[in-house]
Homo-oligomer: A and B are copies of this chain.
Amino acid sequence: MENELLILGLLRKQEMHGYQITEFIDRNLSICTDLKKSAAYFLLEKMTREGWIIFEETRAGKRPLKRVYRLTEKGEGEFQRLLRENLAGYPPSAFGGDTGVAFLDSLDANEAQGLLRQRLAAIQQLADDLRDNPHHHGPVAWVVEHQQRHLAAEAEWVQTLIDRLSNSPEVHSEPII
């Protein structure tokens, strides 16, 4: 439901057409989501069917037809509901990268360290990208800050793992059952 919330939230502040929404997300909100174009169009259609939004077709000059969307009253209600639901809850986050860590004992310590150093570099890269990003204002800046903190913590964590592999090269693997 986060994607619905996102689109409703954007349309609520300003009516927009599909392309504009996806461009805006790509440019300014790629930190908190990676909504693809076709997914966005799909959701716009779905939410139109459900009566949360409506569109008006407009044509500027001879440019292609645009569908400019805005919230209905029902959509405003859904936004309010989804926003509260989102803020009050905490979707338990699983990290895909943990699966590999769970089997670290399958590799010798040296190779494991090399791989984790690559992971560390990938994290640093993301952190650097974030710093170069256009700066934001209001609550979106908080989201950026959240990501920054998270990436810093992840880097620290991976470094800890690397260090531990140095100190105890033998991670003995016991039978799991």
Contact = CB atoms under 8 A, between A and B. Distances in A.
Contacts of A172: 138
A32 to B, nearest CB: 4
Interface in A60-100: 79, 83-84, 86-100
A161 B149 contact: no
Contact of A100 (B87, B97, B149, B177): B87
Interface string A137-177: 11110110011011001100100010010000001111111
Q: Classify the secondary structure of A's interface with B.
A: helix
A101 B143 contact: yes
Q: How many copies does the complex hold?
A: 2
A122 interface: yes
A32 B146 contact: no
A10 interface: yes
B99 A32 contact: yes
13 contacts: A5-B103, A28-B176, A32-B94, A83-B107, A87-B119, A89-B97, A90-B123, A91-B95, A101-B139, A104-B139, A137-B174, A142-B161, A153-B153
Closest CB pairs A-B (n = 7): A86-B100, A87-B115, A90-B122, A88-B118, A32-B98, A87-B100, A104-B139
